[in-house]
């Protein structure tokens, strides 16, 4: 697997975003994630969007982060908000999400962000398991879904002393 930085509106990103929205619809029975996102949210140094490609150069996993600072939706100064973490069905269980998460944390840390935050829901127990096993802890709710009972928010300090991912792995 190799990970590439791409624009949020790259054709492969659009396809994977459509796939993740369809999965949200299956799990939650609604129209998907209604959080407003713009391609500019993921432009360095204020964010990044990554896609993992397999050996045949097919897009198989995605994720991004965008800068957030103190706002009326509950974010704190220095937050990097994780968005659109997703692995296609046939590639799950191979550690791709964990590698993507590590790459995103490294990038946010290098950009000077101090905390990675995310919002997920009760219908995504695999995501909750990934995040809690990766050092994320429940935090005060933030973002678009903060008023929803099924919403769960997590945070992890981005300690600069953590060992960075080898750039050759990306």
The C-alpha angle 99, 112, 70, rounded to 5 degrees, equals: 105
pLDDT in tens, 143-162: 888 888 889 999 999 985 54
- Which pLDDT score, from 0 to 100, does residue 72 have? 84
- Which pLDDT score, from 0 to 100, does residue 73 have? 81
Q: Give the global pTM.
A: 0.89
Pick the CATH number of 2-169 from 3.40.50.880, 3.40.50.2000, 3.40.630.30, 3.40.50.2300: 3.40.630.30
- Own/partner long-range contacts of 21-30 (Cβ < 8 Å, ≥24 apart): 23/86, 27/121, 27/123, 27/124, 28/121, 28/123, 28/150
What's the farthest any 2 CA atoms get from each other in the chain?
44
Residues present in the chain in total? 170
- Which pLDDT score, from 0 to 100, does residue 163 have? 45
Buried b (16+ CB within 10 A) or exposed e, 48-77: bbbbbbbeeeebbbbbbbbbbeeeeebbbe
Q: Does position 166 have pLDDT exceeding 90, yes or no?
A: no
pLDDT in tens, 92-136: 999 999 999 999 999 999 999 999 999 999 999 999 999 999 999
- What residues does each domain of the chain span? 2-169
* Spatial contact of 104 and 134, defined as CB atoms under 8 Å apart: no
Label residue 75 by pLDDT band (50, 70, 90): confident
C-alpha to C-alpha distance for 16 and 53, rounded to whole angstroms: 12
pLDDT in tens, 29-41: 876 778 889 999 9
């Amino acid at each position: 697997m190799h990970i590439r930085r791409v624009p949020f509106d790259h054709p492969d990103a659009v396809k994977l975003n459509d796939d993740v929205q369809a999965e949200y619809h299956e799990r939650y029975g609604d129209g998907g994630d209604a959080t407003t996102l713009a391609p500019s949210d993921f432009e360095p140094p204020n964010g990044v969007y990554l896609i993992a490609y397999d050996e045949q150069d097919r897009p198989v996993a995605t994720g991004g982060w965008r800068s957030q600072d103190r706002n009326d939706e509950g974010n704190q100064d220095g937050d990097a908000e994780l968005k659109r973490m997703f692995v296609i069905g046939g590639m799950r269980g191979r550690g791709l999400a964990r590698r993507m998460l590590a790459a995103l944390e490294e990038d946010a840390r290098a950009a000077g962000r101090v905390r990675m935050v995310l919002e997920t829901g009760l219908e995504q127990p695999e995501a909750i398991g990934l995040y809690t096993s990766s050092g994320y802890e429940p935090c005060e709710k933030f973002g678009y879904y903060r008023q929803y009972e099924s919403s769960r928010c997590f945070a992890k300090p981005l300690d600069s002393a953590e060992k960075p991912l080898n750039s050759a792995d990306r």
